[in-house]
A = this chain, B = another copy of it.
Amino acid sequence: MAHLTAGVEYGLHCLLWLASSPGTPLSSRDLAEFQGISPSFLAKIFPKLEKAGIVSASEGIKGGYLLARQPGDITVLEVVDAIEGRKPLFDCQEIRGRCAVFRERPPSWATKGVCAIHAVMLRAEKAMRDSLASQTLVDIAGDFGRKAPPEFSDDVRKWLADRTKSRTRNGAIEDGALS
């Protein structure tokens, strides 16, 4: 699979919806169904975002998640690291020290500092991370907000509100969503 995983994709999509619904906690289950992704998988992603201080959780019925900070203060890099745990782009195996002309232990000049190949990869990783760090949730949301017609955001609000209501005011145990 790709280095930037589906978990990151799901997390970012959810954070954008949280950004568009400030003040109202959204549950991970609702967010999953709303976007047609796996609720149980999404449930494993949110605790990571919470530990990273990106979202804040409230428990119990009517609970859910809120953005813990302003969307403009949350970078894509933070989200990636929160979900994937800072995995490196490249895993140097120190081949340079295994050279056959080094009997037993390699000399210190050969293993001192960062391997030149590793250094190239670290620079590439830094370029990637800098790029991700330069974008916030606001930057991403802007693109989408400009494309959507005004009625859409009402439809979304309505869909999510209906979900929240069905948990408190009863009578919607059997709703219109058939298989």
Decide yes or no whether A57 CB sits under 8 A from chain B. Answer: no
Q: Is A147 an interface residue (CB 8 A)?
A: yes
Question: In the complex, which residue of chain B has the Cβ closest to the Cβ of A92?
Answer: B9
With contact pairs A110-B147, A124-B131, A128-B125 given, residues A6 and B93 touching in the complex (Cβ less than 8 Å) = yes
Which interface class (under 10, 10 to 19, 20 to 34, 35 or more) fits A?
Answer: 35 or more
In the assembly, what is the distance between CA of A116 and CA of B148, in Å?
Answer: 13
Number of this chain's copies in the complex: 2
Q: In the complex, are the beta carbons of A140 and B112 less than 8 A apart?
A: no
- Indicate if the CB atoms of A9 and B95 lie closer than 8 Å: yes
Contacts of A149 in B (CB 8 A): 109
The answer to whether A61 has its CB under 8 Å from any CB of chain B is no
- Shortest C-beta distance, A58 to chain B (Å), equals 23
Sample of 8 more A-B contacts, CB < 8 Å, known A10-B95, A124-B128: A2-B89, A2-B90, A16-B117, A34-B99, A35-B95, A35-B99, A99-B156, A120-B140
